[in-house]
Structure 1
């Protein structure tokens, strides 16, 4: 019997949005998958030919690009940051909506005009996307890589601005920051390892089509 297809799914806030989409695509995980307190990382589904892993969002792309997982669900922000050539993103799942934005302290924003920037120093988890964005505008960007707690950077003098994902904006507000520029709108995508798409087409292609139908049916409802 062939090894099960492995689908990598990100931990965190998106799990609730992923659940009905997986079910509609015929992927029904064991109950522990949606238990955020569970320490397990690999989970069975009702289909013995499909398994799920639950990993950090940035790691989803890496697992799939290197063939450890054949499919994954990940934000377009991660795809843009890593730009793995081994990945194919055939379906916009239309969940996990947010945006990658530049933010700065409210007091600074009162007199600041992004159109006048020639050089910026930012703390971000997205140095590649950030540098690319500012380069297109002719702005030199000095990016300091952080993996979390971005909002502390302006507070502690590490960098006057940050680039981070924003959904409701509540975290920024609670830390005295405001958005001043949107870099890119983000949604979650179904990604596939290109080699798996060819070598295991008989299993992978119908699964991709099942996700596409699930998205279309949700949109039509």
Structure 2
């Protein structure tokens, strides 16, 4: 899941950036409204965490520009403006949530998870495909009722695939969702993660199928699935 964090308070921005990345999200950080508007127009994000009191272009102007382009990313306003009229205006302009500073970190994390679930079209805190289950709160997997420990990149990829189980996830979508502008994810690296996941899932009768030239999808294992790496 990819997040755009827009916050001009350097200390708070740094703390939230570390927190979100430790939770496994790909995060891009900008400190002013013009940069936020330009990045939101050029890149794809599941969630934008948006301060209102920004240098130059303020957060409401960024939000208005996003929605005028029909940008469907979830938006959480994170601001010290707590007056009812400010909240009403932000929500009416298309924000999905409004959190007032100072805030509790646990509540912030829960709201991020809730918005990302909603963005993925999920109503519960877990999603399953056959014997594979993802707990969306802890971002942990079980396979056949046993914990499935995965390196961060493999976990992120499998999370993306189980949320869209049965549907092809394009390679471009994988790269956009799993990396920030500071990261790189080559086609060869994706192939390696897919290969490792196939080996982990095969004993439970699950596999990752290749839609050649397009991407991958989660499926029940079929003969030759482990070698289906093209």
Fold similarity call, TM over 0.5: no
Going by fraction, where is helix more abundant, 1 or 2?
2
Structure with the higher strand share, 1 or 2: 1
Q: What is the TM-score of this pair, normalised by structure 1?
A: 0.29
